[in-house]
A and B are shown apart, each in its own frame.
Chain A
Amino acid sequence: MSLSLFLHIVNLETKKLMSYRVDFWITMAVNLVVNLVILWALWTAIFSESGSEIIGGWDLPGILSYGVMVFLTGRIVRGGDLQMTVATDIYEGALSRFLLYPRHYAFTKYAQQVGNIVPDLFQSVLMGLVALPVLGISSTTAITPLTVAMSIPTILVAHLLFFMMGLIPQYIAFWADNVWSLSVMLRFVTMLLGGAMLPLSLFPEPVQQVLHWLPFAYLFEFPTLVILGKVDFSQWLIGIGTCLLWCLAIGSLSIPVWRRGDLRYTGVGI
């Protein structure tokens, strides 16, 4: 695996994304404002109407911090969202070009997706600096330089897992006419079961037990809990290891799908 080639692709992809700067800033501003308004309105209403001070192990500032942090880390993790890139390569025959490259197709695509997260990372840090000071001090969370440092590898591994999970639905494009809906389905499921919409501690206990054995929590909830200081060092190591195992398992599943699809592929007019 060539690191310089990988970094070169990352650099190219970042530059491509940054060429639409108005889009970049509009998206950032609106996303931040809308998410803060909804988070604030929803959770203040729930805490006030339920009369509880702690819900699912969170106080109001804590759950607001969770909402903000899961949104910010989620943006980076979802930078691995392939959307339709692989399927488009297959449909339009652009895959032929990648097949001639000296590196595996998935390697090139992953490097491109890492390039996608650089602007997201920049936006997330900026948004965090604006949003977090206004949320108040929570008794249920503790963001420290150590938790921020621990969250960086966690987010990167979560990004890899998200990329791996997106590969198989995209490879289905070798057989199906349109796989856009499969990718969107995957996004719905991961957002809900990964804790991007709500902390998983709010789910009923039996559901939490089931989710513990699935990979979704490592996408959004785990990196957020790490940054909020709710995961100790040993839990962090176990979490990272489990996430890497899921990457390996899902990556292994994608290999036979790729091989079979590759045999079916015909690039016309290249």
Chain B
Amino acid sequence: MTRYLRLYIQFLKFSFSRAMEYRMDFWFRIVMDCMFYVVELIFFTILYQHTDMLGGWNYDQVLIFVSGYLVIDAIHMTVFSNNMWWLPIYVNKGDLDYYLVRPVSSLFFLSLRDFAANSFLNLLIAGGILTWSILRYPGELGAANLLWFLFLVLNGSFLFYILQMLFQIPVFWTHTNRGLLTAFFSANKLMERPDKIYSKWTRRILMTIFPALLVIALPARVLFDGPDPQMIGHIFGVTAILFLVMSAFWNLALRSYSSASS
């Protein structure tokens, strides 16, 4: 465990020094993510000009929900996104060999190696927006609810990573995963809306088969309605099962991998 921690600190050092080599891109990317945040907030602000409630949430509640989503997106962009980008390239060019021969878990190495230092600034900004939306909330949220919410947001980031990996891994067989990834990013929109707007059957599907609602919508419910043990158990249970499925899928993919250079 300490070995992995030391390795991750090295990843961080390397990523920060590399990010500062391309300073213009560094700032472009920060502005880009800020623009994404603004667009998301404006979208819901305009919707609430025409209704007081959406999926049972008022504007103050939806602001917290959206800010929570922005934090999850920022965590993903900071920790996982670059690595997800490189994975198909490594597989297709045979560069994966270099990572498979190292004495650490290949999944750990390939998922966490490239830390996006510029997105880390955006993570701070998204965290600021979440703090602001919680502080301006007129009702009482409760410390326990808040702690559960923050913990479930972290779980949501991990679940988001697992879901993307499940769409990435087929690249070992298909060699191009452009269609699957486009499908994944398109399906992501499902998690950017309050869960109660969906019909009963759609919600069931989005809580089990493609558990998009467990990423941020249900954590927000825990924040507003209090920690329901059944709901929290469901979120952790599905995350654990999907992690096991992803690990098995990864191992299967590695067995099918034939290096391009061998």
Contacts and interface: CB of A to CB of B under 8 A. Distances in A.
Interface of A: 20, 22-27, 30-31, 34-35, 37-38, 41-42, 44-46, 49-50, 52, 55-56, 176-182, 184-185, 188-189, 191-192, 197-198, 202-204
B24 A189 contact: no
A202 B48 CA distance: 10
Given A38-B193, A42-B197, A45-B197, 14 more contacts: A20-B178, A22-B179, A23-B179, A24-B179, A30-B186, A31-B182, A34-B187, A38-B190, A41-B193, A50-B50, A52-B51, A197-B39, A197-B43, A202-B46
A78 to B, nearest CB: 12
B32 interface: yes
A176 B24 contact: yes
B176 A23 contact: yes
B193 A42 contact: yes
A198 B197 CA distance: 17
Interface in B10-33: 22, 24-25, 28-29, 31-32
A189 B197 contact: no
Nearest to A32: B186
A41 B198 contact: yes
A56 B46 CA distance: 11
Nearest to A197: B43
Interface in B192-247: 193-194, 196-199, 202
Given A30-B186, A31-B183, A184-B32, A198 B47 contact: yes
B49 interface: yes
Contacts of A31: 182-183, 186
18 contacts: A20-B178, A23-B182, A26-B182, A30-B187, A34-B186, A34-B189, A34-B190, A35-B186, A44-B197, A46-B51, A50-B50, A50-B51, A50-B52, A55-B50, A176-B24, A177-B22, A181-B31, A192-B39
A52 B179 contact: no
B46 A177 contact: no
A202 B194 CA distance: 20
Contacts of A178: 22, 24-25, 28
Contacts of A198: 43, 46-47
Given A38-B193, A188-B36, A30 B25 contact: no
Contacts of A184: 32
B10 to A, nearest CB: 24
Interface of B: 22, 24-25, 28-29, 31-32, 35-36, 39, 42-43, 46-47, 49-55, 174, 176, 178-180, 182-183, 186-187, 189-190, 193-194, 196-199, 202
Contact of B43 (A25, A27, A189, A192): A192
A46 B47 contact: yes
Contacts of A25: 179
A195 B183 CA distance: 22
B199 A41 contact: yes
Contacts of B193: 38, 41-42
A119 to B, nearest CB: 12
Contacts of B187: 30, 34
Nearest to B205: A37
B85 to A, nearest CB: 10
A202 B35 contact: no
A177 B50 CA distance: 43
A13 B260 CA distance: 27
Given A23-B179, A26-B179, A192 B51 contact: no
Nearest to B195: A41
B200 to A, nearest CB: 12
B196 to A, nearest CB: 8
A37 B186 contact: no
Contacts of B198: 37, 41
